[in-house]
Structure 1
Amino acid sequence: MATIKRALKTKPNNEGFYPIVFRVYHDGKSAEIYSKIYIDKNDWDTSNNIVKRNNSNYKNINSFLNKIQGELNDIINKLEATGKEYWAIDVKNEYSRLIESEKKIAVNENVDFIEFLDGCIKRQSPGNGKVTRDTKNFLIRFSGKRLPVYKIDGDFVKEFHDFVKKTSTSDGSTRMRSFKARFNELKELGLATDRNPFTSIKIKQKRTQSLIALSNDEIEKLKGFEYNKYPDLKLSYITFMFSYYALGINFKDVIKLKYSNIKRDKISYIRSKTGKLIEIPRLPEIEPYLELINNYPKENNDYVFPYLLKRHDTDNRIFNRGNKLITVFNNNLKKIATLAKIESNLTTYVARHSASNKLYNTKVPIEVIKDLLGHDSVKTTEGYIKSLQTSQTQEIIKGIL
């Protein structure tokens, strides 16, 4: 008879959360079924294969997982009762058919959407949590402190959209995208029917900016920049060059870099955006900038760079500090670009783009670039490189036609 085991996958999504799956084993074969639920790996009880109490939605999630397990057991019992041979994949296929039929059946939609958002905020990264909290506050202003899911229909969404546009300094598209994403997450948990109340409005998609990579000539100009003449720009210059030679480490990861991350032959760190461990070679070119930064006085000597102070002792405080610093950093980079006679728009991400573009153009395998950038798949890296190549092509032909 087939057996079922719950598990947490070892590979996270782009937000750093891990999917819960069910594995069906039968006659030496197995099949994997995604529950469509993603959690922080610290919220998973590996002994009992359930979500821990420290996850604010643990009751709903565990109840949903038990429901899936019960359905899979029912399917196995029915297949066994036929007396015919079956495989693990047959269990998965039967479950897929069941899910399709269940989409047509209404669920109890008395769940409080505001309470659900509170749970989302607790498990999200500071950046995503800030957007969700802002969306929640607008929903409370519009409809009160309790919002049963059944009230979220096309009319509600349209009226809320109008309210957001009238009371926001922007068009409110970020809040509406957040609202829609959290509603879809609720559907995945089986706490809302499979419907789309957002068809009554048009939400602007997040604009993607063209990726900029410095040319070899511009990189040489930067290397020759006389930073000692400009004390106010010196730290920003060192940070940018360190980021470039550290193969594009993000600014928010640079400020959190500790001496314990710097090894004899490599630099190891956890990328904030994905939660993935990144290991990059400690190139000889990085040494002069490490030496320069080591001479800076620091309030918190654990960190390589002097950006974080002792009071920045929580994730939220570090996140907020990073947001404030990045504005100053980008402004300084613009001044450096002007002084160095660099036409490209110098920003924090240009170091990352330039490093990855240089690697690609020197024939480094795309799989290696993927690992160095911390991407989850080669497709993401290919899209990244393609965008860089397109931007360069546009710059080349701009003055020709």
Structure 2
Amino acid sequence: MASVKVLLYTSKVLKNGEHPIMLRLIKDRKIKYVSLDHSCSKDLWDDDEQLPSKKHPNKVELIIRISKMFNDANKVVLDFENNDQHYTVDDIAKALSKKSVGKLTFFKFTDELVQRHKDVEKIGTANAFQDAKRVVSRFTKEKDVTFKEVDYIFLTRLEEDLLKRKVTENSIAVYMRTIRSVYNKAIAEGHAREAEYPFKTYKLTKLNTKTKKRALTKEQVKKIADHKLELGSKLWVARSIFLFSYYCRGINFIDMAQLKWSNIQDGRLHYTRAKTGHQFNIALLPPALEILDYYRERQDGSGFVFPILGAYHNTEQKVKNRVKKIMKEVNSNLRTVAEKVEIDFNVTTYVARHSYATVLKRQNVSTSQISEALGHSSEKITQVYLDSFENTVLDEADKFLL
């Protein structure tokens, strides 16, 4: 029979300096600890009673919580034994989780998700969950909420609040999708009830998530390309990054940052897009080859093509921080270049991608070809999705850029 014991887990110290209060489950010499989502300092814990001491300011509340979890655990064990079921400590923990639906609030569970993804260096996903918590916290004036409270009315009012704050519908849709993801994970892990799932009635499709067109004409791109700049200056480097993207099917800044010379083979660019996993095989146009010639002569030993990342950017967090910083600088310099050639437009690295697609469209290249060239795979983005086009067809289409 399994044993259940409450203890203060002193091997771990939380950010508040306290130790987590745990249930220790033992069965067949296997041990599992289950958190009670409460903590206590060692000086306020009674080791003999395995309960908060009389001095603890929240003694009564903690004892009630501990007693409930302790009794629930013993009841689970007794149920397994009475039904003559084979079970493990993991089975006990799982059954306890189901009994504790609603024990984790929206903020606490989101914090858990953030930490889990940071632990495996999925920083982008962790940041998305953190951003979702931030907008909800601002809406509730930092008051935590249960998953039951995150209902249709709550989401509708949150949406209205974001609109009043001039947040774009596209951004609102991103926040809502992340909140939906948190809710789905909470249901799967027993912290929320499927019967209370608000996204059955609250639909994200009503949000207009179409991105406004942000494209330069072929003539405007040529003005930027032809403008005289000091070779190697910050403005020249920013322009070279913009033009390389434009001439290489709108390659994203993050993918360009991570390009290495091994991605350049026989006059072609081979790379896998970080966001989608789509593989590209692109014939490099003469202007793109000229840009590469400049950087090839100035290699720093890191293996990277562009002066964005270095060998010391060896974690996902370091890469994201560096890319964000340099992209901001590049975009600022691109705006300066645009002003110099009298283009009244907020030119950024991402404008190169839109410009690439728009210029080809104006040359009567089919939407399906452009879709393939950009690596789109969703009908919501391009309306047309094809499995593959021959590289030679796309290479010929690219020549319209010149």
Q: CA deviation at 1:209?
A: 4.5
Q: Which moved more, 1:288-297 or 1:324-333?
A: 288-297
Which amino acid counterpart does residue 336 of structure 2 have in structure 1? K
Q: TM-score, normalised by structure 1?
A: 0.56
1:245 alignment counterpart? 247
Q: TM-score, normalised by structure 2?
A: 0.55
- Point out where structure 1 has 5 or more consecutive residues left out of the alignment: 1-105, 385-401
- Point out where structure 2 has 5 or more consecutive residues left out of the alignment: 1-97, 386-402
Question: Is the contact between residue 241 and residue 349 of structure 2 (CA under 8 Å) also seen in structure 1?
Answer: no
2:230 alignment counterpart? 228
2:112 alignment counterpart? 118
TM alignment of 1:249-328, pairs within 5 A: 249-298=251-300, 300-328=301-329
Taking the aligned partners of 1:365 and 1:174, their CA distance within structure 2 comes to 29
Taking the aligned partners of 2:350 and 2:167, their CA distance within structure 1 comes to 25
- Residues 250-269 of structure 1: CA deviation (Å, up to 9, x unaligned): 11111111111112142121
Question: Is the contact between residue 337 and residue 344 of structure 1 (CA under 8 Å) also seen in structure 2?
Answer: yes
Which amino acid counterpart does residue 112 of structure 2 have in structure 1? D
1:69 alignment counterpart? none
Q: CA deviation at 1:215?
A: 1.3
Taking the aligned partners of 1:127 and 1:206, their CA distance within structure 2 comes to 24
Secondary structure at the residue paired with 2:281? strand
The answer to whether 1:128 aligns with 2:125 is yes
Distance 1:126 1:372, change over 3 A: farther
Taking the aligned partners of 2:303 and 2:142, their CA distance within structure 1 comes to 46
1:100 alignment counterpart? none
Q: CA deviation at 1:169?
A: 12
Taking the aligned partners of 1:303 and 1:266, their CA distance within structure 2 comes to 16
Q: Over alpha carbons, which structure has the higher Rg?
A: 2
Q: Which moved more, 1:233-242 or 1:204-213?
A: 204-213
Distance 1:142 1:255, change over 3 A: same
Q: CA deviation at 1:273?
A: 1.8
Question: Is the contact between residue 107 and residue 190 of structure 1 (CA under 8 Å) also seen in structure 2?
Answer: no
Distance 1:213 1:170, change over 3 A: closer
The answer to whether 1:343 aligns with 2:344 is yes
Secondary structure at the residue paired with 2:125? helix
Distance 1:285 1:181, change over 3 A: same
1:26 alignment counterpart? none
Comparing both chains, which one has the higher relative contact order based on Cα–Cα distances under 8 Å and sequence gaps of 6 or more?
1
Secondary structure at the residue paired with 2:280? strand
1:40 alignment counterpart? none
Distance 1:169 1:317, change over 3 A: farther
Q: CA deviation at 1:177?
A: 2.4
1:185 alignment counterpart? 184
Q: CA deviation at 1:249?
A: 0.3
TM alignment of 1:375-394, pairs within 5 A: 375-377=376-378, 380-382=381-383
Taking the aligned partners of 1:188 and 1:383, their CA distance within structure 2 comes to 34
TM alignment of 1:2-401, pairs within 5 A: 109-110=101-102, 112=104, 114-115=108-109, 118-119=112-113, 122=117, 125-136=122-133, 142=142, 149-150=147-148, 152-153=150-151, 177=176, 180-186=179-185, 189=188, 191=190, 192-197=193-198, 209-228=211-230, 231-298=233-300, 300-377=301-378, 380-382=381-383
Secondary structure at the residue paired with 2:196? coil
Distance 1:143 1:322, change over 3 A: same
Taking the aligned partners of 2:152 and 2:99, their CA distance within structure 1 comes to 18
Question: Is the contact between residue 334 and residue 346 of structure 1 (CA under 8 Å) also seen in structure 2?
Answer: yes
